């Protein structure tokens, strides 16, 4: 089965890691992957599994997620999507020119890439799977929500949500399969010596709280440093391990406009200033990015996911494979990803005090780390094992293409 994967996000992150894990497992079932993807660090991973790959400057997206749907100055983001439209058309046409007659199925990695997906389906005339990885805007009566739902109902041959939390944000009249993301908990064949040296410097007595992901406002990194300040004032024995990259701040007029509009996500400079101002240099460690993420999880006691997206992210279940419980900003945790007070703690978003209290709970009750960590690991093995989830995704492929 030959599948065209479409991904519009360049930086390697949760969505691209999830697709990479899925495709790697699907290849064992005979799937031949072809990619149209935006230029960025994701290409380094897709290139490892792709039969062929077309990279483009950008793909037009339409964002109707609960966190970043268009409102106020965010409507300006549509200018970027219009700018990317010629690149989108060219990339899809180039894919059709190269692979006409070769593709059996189109898989859109996120519903935000529905437009390039529809263009590809029109040219290739094959079934299309649309993945939904982020909770959608709660206002289902808005014209754009109704428009997206109509497109999904009329054009998507299968819709896949990554968990029950995301599924509940989609229209109830849409047929949706829930297939959790996957993670392979294994050490890299090429260990990262720099990262290992940094991890070895952590104090043995401290509670080690990890943050894994891009250093952005929406990921709650500033909430975490505020929580660290509160804990430091209480004399708590806690160290914070921040692992992830950051998008470089755009310079010139574009960067100035993004900052004025409140759309700039990069906060590395502000984060570093707060760490210094609060005197947290000895307990708040910015370790940078690594490809050997498993070595990080094995050194942590707790993973913090203070995201503003109101949903558990990949680090929650990735860390769980190493028996690391989590602290997650989610209002309605569901049992397939987080069981409150069993596999971790659910707290309100944008609340540094609640975050500090949850961390303090684990720091004072170290036996809770072991208890919840064991249950988190059991949940991860049950729901996020790559081969099992690849089999479920492959069954969906077979169902809509009628492959045997």
Read off the pLDDT of residues 202-211 as tens digits, 9 standing for 90 and up: 999 999 999 9
Confidence at 252, pLDDT banded by 50, 70, 90: low
Given a cut of 70, is residue 257 above it in pLDDT?
Answer: no
Given a cut of 70, is residue 242 above it in pLDDT?
Answer: yes
pTM of the model: 0.89
Among 141-155, 176-190, 290-304, the minimum mean pLDDT is found in: 176-190
Confidence at 253, pLDDT banded by 50, 70, 90: low
Give pLDDT, residue 245: 80
Given a cut of 60, is residue 338 above it in pLDDT?
Answer: yes
Confidence at 309, pLDDT banded by 50, 70, 90: very high
Give pLDDT, residue 190: 80
Given a cut of 80, is residue 144 above it in pLDDT?
Answer: yes
Average pLDDT estimate for 144-162: 97
pLDDT digits (tens, 9 = 90+) for 187-201: 877 888 999 999 999
Given a cut of 70, is residue 22 above it in pLDDT?
Answer: yes
pLDDT digits (tens, 9 = 90+) for 62-79: 999 999 999 998 899 999
Given a cut of 90, is residue 14 above it in pLDDT?
Answer: no
Residues paired with residue 346 on neighbouring β-strands, in sequence order: 328
Given a cut of 70, is residue 262 above it in pLDDT?
Answer: no
Given a cut of 80, is residue 263 above it in pLDDT?
Answer: no
Give pLDDT, residue 214: 86
Given a cut of 60, is residue 174 above it in pLDDT?
Answer: yes
Six-digit token string for 361: 């709970």
């Amino acid at each position: 089965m030959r599948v065209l994967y479409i991904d519009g996000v360049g930086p390697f992150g949760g969505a691209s890691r999830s697709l990479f894990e899925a495709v790697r497992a699907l290849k064992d079932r005979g799937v031949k992957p072809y990619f149209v993807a935006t230029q960025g660090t994701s290409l380094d991973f897709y290139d490892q599994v792709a039969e062929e790959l077309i990279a483009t400057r950008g793909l037009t997206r339409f964002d109707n997620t609960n966190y970043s749907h268009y409102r106020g100055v965010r409507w300006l983001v549509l200018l970027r999507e219009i700018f990317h439209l010629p690149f989108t058309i060219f990339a899809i046409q180039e894919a059709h020119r190269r692979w006409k007659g070769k593709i059996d199925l189109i898989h859109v990695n996120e519903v935000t890439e529905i437009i390039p997906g529809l263009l590809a389906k029109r040219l290739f005339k094959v079934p299309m799977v649309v993945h939904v990885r982020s909770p959608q805007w709660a206002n289902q009566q808005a014209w754009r929500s109704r428009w997206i739902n109509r497109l999904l109902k009329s054009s998507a041959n299968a819709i896949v949500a990554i968990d029950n939390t995301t599924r509940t944000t989609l229209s109830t009249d849409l047929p949706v399969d829930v297939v959790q993301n996957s993670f392979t908990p294994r050490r890299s064949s090429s260990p990262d010596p720099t990262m290992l040296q940094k991890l070895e410097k952590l104090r043995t007595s401290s509670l080690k709280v990890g943050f894994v992901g891009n250093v952005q406002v929406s990921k709650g990194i500033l909430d975490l440093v505020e929580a660290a300040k509160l804990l430091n004032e209480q004399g708590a024995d806690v160290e914070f391990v921040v692992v992830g990259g950051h998008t470089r701040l755009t310079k010139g007029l574009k960067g100035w406009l993004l900052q004025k509009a409140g759309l700039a996500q990069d906060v590395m400079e502000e984060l570093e200033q707060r760490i210094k101002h609060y005197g947290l240099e000895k307990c708040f460690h910015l370790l940078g990015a690594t490809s050997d993420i498993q070595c990080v999880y094995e050194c942590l006691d707790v993973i913090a996911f203070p995201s503003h997206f109101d949903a558990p992210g990949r680090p929650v279940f990735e860390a769980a494979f190493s028996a690391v419980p989590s602290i997650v900003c989610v209002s309605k945790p569901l049992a397939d990803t987080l069981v409150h007070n069993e596999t971790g703690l659910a707290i309100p978003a944008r609340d540094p005090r609640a975050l500090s209290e949850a961390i303090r709970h684990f720091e004072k009750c170290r036996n809770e780390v072991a208890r919840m960590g064991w249950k988190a690991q059991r949940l991860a093995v049950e729901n996020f094992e790559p081969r099992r989830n690849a089999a479920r995704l492959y069954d969906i492929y077979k169902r809509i293409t009628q492959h045997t």
